[in-house]
Structure 1
Amino acid sequence: VNDIFIFNEIIGHLGLLELPIKGRAYTWSNMQDNPLLEQLDWFFTSANWISVYPMSQVLP
C-alpha cells in the first residue's frame, strides 16, 4: 500500500482542509544552479476552525 494513499485517506477521514502557503509554491530547494523544488510542508485545519477564523493563512 502506498504511504501517500494512506496519508490522504487519513486526511479525508478526519475532514481536514489544507491551508495553502501564501506567496510560495515550494518549501524546499536543493540550492543548485538548476534547482530541484519540492513542497515538503503542509498545513491542515478543520472546517470549524475556518468558519471561526476565515482569514486564516500560512505565511512562509
Structure 2
Amino acid sequence: VNDIFIFNEIIGHLGLLELPLKGRRFTWSNMQDVPLLEQLDWFFTSASWINQYPMTQVAP
C-alpha cells in the first residue's frame, strides 16, 4: 500500500485541514543555478482551531 495514500486517509479520517504557506509556494530548494523547488513541509489543524483562531497563518 502506498504510504502517501495511508497518510491522506488518516488526514481525512481525522478531519484535518491544511494551512497554506504564506509568502512562498516552496519550502525547500537545492540552491542550484536552475533550482529544484519542492514543498516538503505541510501544516495541518482542525476546523475548531480555525474557528477559534481564524487569522492563523504559516510563515516560512
TM-score by length of 1: 0.97
Instruction: Indicate the residue corresponding to 1:19 in structure 2.
Output: 19
Amino acid at match of 1:7: F
Separation in structure 2 between the aligned mates of residue 10 and residue 48 of structure 1, nearest angstrom: 18
Show structure 2 runs of 5+ residues with no match. Answer: none
User: How far did residue 10 of structure 1 move?
Assistant: 0.4
Q: Report SS of the residue matched to 2:45.
A: strand
Question: How many residues of Structure 1 are paired with residues of Structure 2 in the alignment?
Answer: 60
Instruction: Indicate the residue corresponding to 1:10 in structure 2.
Output: 10
After superposition, the CA RMSD in angstroms is 0.5
TM-score by length of 2: 0.97
Show structure 1 runs of 5+ residues with no match. Answer: none
Q: Which runs of 4+ in 1 moved over 2 A?
A: none
Equivalent pairs: percent with the same residue? 85
Instruction: Indicate the residue corresponding to 1:38 in structure 2.
Output: 38
